[in-house]
Amino acid sequence: MSISAQEFQRRRRELMEQMEPNSIAILPAAPERTRNRDVEHPYRQDSDFWYLSGFPEPEAVMVLLPGREHGEFVLFCRERDRAMEIWNGYRAGPEGAVANYQADDAFPINDIDDILPGLIEGRNRVYYDIGRDDDFDRQLMSWVNAIRERVRTGAQPPGEFVALSHLLHDMRLFKSKEEQAVMRRAASISAGAHVRAMQSVRPGMHEYQLEAEYLHEFMRHGARSPAYPSIVGGGANGCILHYVENSDQLKEGDLVLVDAGCELDCYASDITRTFPVSGTFSAEQRALYEVVLKAQLAAIDVTHPDHHWNYPHEEAVRVLTEGLLELGLLKGDPAELVETEAYRRFYMHRTGHWLGLDVHDVGDYRIGGAWRQLEPGMVLTVEPGLYVAPDDDTVEARWRGIGIRIEDDVLVTADGCEVLTHEVPKTVEDIEALMREARA
């Protein structure tokens, strides 16, 4: 476990210190999901549940009870079962939940109907995210309603439900030193995969074959899965923002846009690089690429605590617009083009998102209607791009079908930022040199 037991304890303590007196927090584990018939998707724990416990199994419920005399962290989980463990692997069981995951109390999940209502009764407030799991919503409300039905006998149902995510997601936005170390390692593994792909790509390969180079590099360094479906778009496919078919053949003279990152210990990395299949950029590809790179460097340069969340996006938009003007793809006054969002023909997404346990991680982007100030410990992506649609007959044919995005993972520090994914080349000269050396 890369995150220490002390770190999980610290998180639970920090959350409970923010909860109102005489309250309870309830979090169900992620359910298992069927892929088809009797085949299930690989299990991945709910990010909030994992953040507070590190417990990796399904069919579990975590309960936090600040101030409870007999222990504040209660875990319901599957019992040990020799027959089931032969088929599906070992389980922690209630004993393991206490010994290995620091639960103060642990009970079989099959006993939850008998035990959890008693823990809820008498509590003034329940912290729980209604709407994320319909089945558990109904189960929880059945327990609360059962308590309400006994009011005349002195039972005390909770009087208020509060979204747990309101507290928890703000905590998750700020990465601890241990989290930063895991994310730095995930970034390094993913960086190595992008380098491997630049060295391996050849005209005639299929996009899925290039994708396989990434998966191989992820797994051989201990990252068992990508953090999201990899995007490997050759030629005009690079203009499709969420292209995941990855089925076409890579052609001589085309660029390939690859958006791929591994997940390590549940933490995501997220990198995009665009490079020439043949090893050399054409004049038009290079011109557009230089504009995107200049925009990305400008956005990274203003990613620090002196600025708010939207500042890097504003810088990227300014530089992209100026570059499109210089290349003749836009015409007019730069300020007016930004104001009217004329650039959105070629740049239709934003410049980044929070990154952490989820690829598009939790955390508010605005507070009180204003853009949130960047603070040390936040991790975000910086990913401007330009995409000239293959059927855009308003531009010269030489520009059509070129899609470019450059994305890095960036940690905000006390005096600026750290680019976690710095090990991947991104200048034209460095990319071409790497690819030339691999072909020598």
Catalytic residues: 38, 242, 259, 270, 349, 353, 360, 383, 387, 405, 407
For 102: left if phi > 0, alpha if psi spans -120 to 50, otherwise beta; the answer is left
CA distance 8 to 19: 17
Q: What value does the CA radius of gyration of the chain take, rounded to a whole number of Å?
A: 25
- DSSP-derived secondary structure for 372-430: PBP-TT-EEEE--EEE--TT-TTS-GGGTT-EEE-BEEEEEETTEEEETTTTS--SHHH
3-state secondary structure of 371: strand
What are the residues whose beta carbons fall under 8 Å from the beta carbon of 393, sequence distance 6 or more?
none
- DSSP-derived secondary structure for 209-269: HHHHHHHHHHHHTT--EESSPPEEEEGGGGGSTT-----SBP-TT-EEEEEE-EEETTEE-
How far separated are the first and last CA of the chain, in Å rounded? 42
Angle between helix 428-439 and helix 177-200 axes, rounded to 10 deg: 60
3-state secondary structure of 294: helix
Closest CA to 285 of 244, 253, 332: 253
CA distance 371 to 284: 36
- Residue 308's DSSP bridge partners are 373
Position 400, amino acid: R
Q: Are 104 and 73 in contact (CB under 8 A)?
A: yes
